[in-house]
Amino acid sequence: MSHFVDSIGIEISPDTLNQGEGAILREIALQLYARQIFTFGQARRLANLSVWEFQQLLGQHHVERHYNETDLAEDIDTIAASY
């Protein structure tokens, strides 16, 4: 997903702001992923979460997982790097 975006609006609740940098990064990652601006791998790295943690976060926020060839390649690279 390498398209350029001029500008986007991201909504961050006061509760999220009060929770600190980690919560803000997770919220930004969720929104960028949901808008298909970031791949799963890009979003989970921004959120500083494992594959499984980010998948769980998507489920908690009712964000559907979109999966394409780029995501598959990133998953293969992640698995290969762990061996």
- pLDDT tens for the chain, 83 residues: list them: 446 667 777 777 787 777 788 888 999 999 999 999 998 999 999 999 999 999 999 999 999 988 778 878 888 998 899 88
What does the pLDDT read at residue 4? 63
Q: What is the pLDDT of residue 69?
A: 87
Residue 40 domain-assigned (yes or no): yes
CA distance 27 to 49: 12
DSSP output for 23-42: HHHHHHHHHHHHTTSS-HHH
Question: Domain range spanning residue 62?
Answer: 14-81
Maximum alpha-carbon separation in the chain: 41
**pLDDT of the residue at 30:** 95
CB 56 within 8 A of CB 47: no
User: For residue 55, is it within any domain?
Assistant: yes
Q: Tell whether 54 is covered by a domain.
A: yes
- Count up the domains in the chain and report the number: 1
40 vs 50, 60, 61, 80, CA distance in Å? 11, 15, 15, 17
CB-neighbour burial class of residue 32 (10 A; exposed 0-12, middle 13-18, buried 19+): buried
Residue 17 confidence (pLDDT)? 73
Given this model, what pLDDT does residue 42 score?
94
pLDDT of residue 66: 84
